Amino acid sequence: MLRSRIRASLYLPLEEKTPAMAIKATIYKADIQIADMDRHYYQNHVLTIARHPSETDERMMVLLLAFARHAHEALVFAKGIADADEPDIWQKDLTGAIDLWIDVGQPDDRRILKACGRADKVKIYSYSYSSPIWWNQIGSRVDRARNLEVINLSPSSSLEMAKLAQRNMQLQYTMQDGEVWVSGNGETLQIELTQLKG
């Protein structure tokens, strides 16, 4: 858990190093409890998220959901939006090879295929009403990528999760038989996920 805390705090966009006039990242803390009955994974992670100025609460909460679904002691936030060569979340082995690459949003086919060439597994979490249009445009271009999984969240799920966003969050994620529930602020949401590929 300590490793997650230290590495997650490194997720700082380039704007943090620019002069004072630049818009800085907003720091969020998330204490998440994970009960993944499908993987038999039961852990707490304390995460620090430096939210990029261009990010929304909705995207940040989808990012946390992706972390929870694949949680591991070696899983950490990368630079994401602040660095085109890094995903939002990744997991590396002891040699530095990338075991898992996770992006949130609607990356283009070139980025996806490049990631598939660099990592053993690539997961994309798309959301928003425009996701079907995005997937119709690029789905056939990435079909040959055998190590790619694309998961789409229903717009209602991602928007409801956005309402749970706070500067200091305590969230519980429960996974069983492919179903996902998120609890926080006295509310429990069932998340609608659709497998687009994989």
- Mean pLDDT on 116-142: 97
Angle between helices 57-69 and 155-162 (to 10 degrees): 100
Domain layout of the chain by residue ranges: 2-197
* Cβ 158 vs Cβ 62: under 8 Å: yes
Identify the pLDDT of residue 118.
97
The fold adopted by the segment(s) 2-197 is Restriction endonuclease-like alpha-beta roll fold (3.10.640)
Q: What is the per-residue pLDDT across 37-55, written as a single tens digit (0 to 9) for each? A: 999 999 999 999 988 888 8
Identify the pLDDT of residue 4.
42
